């Protein structure tokens, strides 16, 4: 069963359970997937769905920060609940040490040296660690590996 099929099944389950908050978040996710399929005329694989989920989670985190700063805790809580629903569809994330270890291995494999090679390293790292780690964390690990 693909990730998209699993999400569709979870939507049906949420509808039956009358879980409106979860249902709204799942519908939002399926809508984003459908939009990408229509815009690019492709059928999404699991990696593309994970990329969409990552993007939605990043948007929610940015919103939470803005709502907290504006003293709107009610809206921040709603966004946080959506993040929890979306995170359930992500694969197991790597820890900071595991990310750094894999990044250092890729840097050694490419023979990259110094900050000038960051783009080359990030291109390879993005494909290998997509969905397994947050890209902000990966970028910091690449900078550390290239500096050291």
pLDDT, one tens digit per residue, over 58-114 is 999 999 999 999 999 999 999 999 999 999 998 887 777 788 888 888 878 877 777
Q: What is the pTM of this model?
A: 0.75
Residue 117 tokens read as 């090679």
Q: Closest Cα partner for 64 from 55, 54, 74? A: 74
End-to-end CA distance of the chain: 43
Which run of H or of E encompasses 32?
helix 20-40
Query: What sign does the CA torsion over 31, 66, 136, 114 have?
Result: positive
CA angle 87, 89, 93 (to 5 degrees): 65
Residues in the chain: 148
Task: Out of 47-51, 62-66, 118-122, pick the least confident.
Answer: 118-122
Query: 128 or 41: which carries more pLDDT confidence?
Result: 41
Residue 84 tokens read as 């929890």
14 has pLDDT over 90: yes
Residue 69 tokens read as 């700063």
């Amino acid at each position: 069963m693909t990730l998209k099929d699993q999400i569709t099944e979870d939507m049906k389950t949420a509808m039956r359970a009358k879980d409106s908050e979860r249902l709204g978040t799942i519908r939002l996710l399926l809508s984003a997937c459908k939009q990408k399929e229509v815009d690019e005329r492709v059928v999404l694989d699991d990696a593309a769905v994970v990329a969409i989920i990552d993007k939605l989670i990043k948007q929610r985190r940015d919103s939470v920060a803005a709502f907290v700063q504006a003293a709107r805790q009610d809206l921040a809580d709603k966004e946080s609940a959506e993040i929890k629903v979306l995170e359930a569809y992500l694969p197991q994330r790597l820890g900071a040490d595991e990310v750094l270890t894999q990044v250092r291995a890729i840097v050694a494999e490419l023979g990259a040296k110094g900050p000038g090679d960051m783009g080359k390293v990030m291109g390879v790292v993005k494909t290998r660690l997509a969905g397994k780690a947050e890209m902000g964390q990966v970028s910091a690990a690449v900078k550390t590996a290239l500096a050291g």
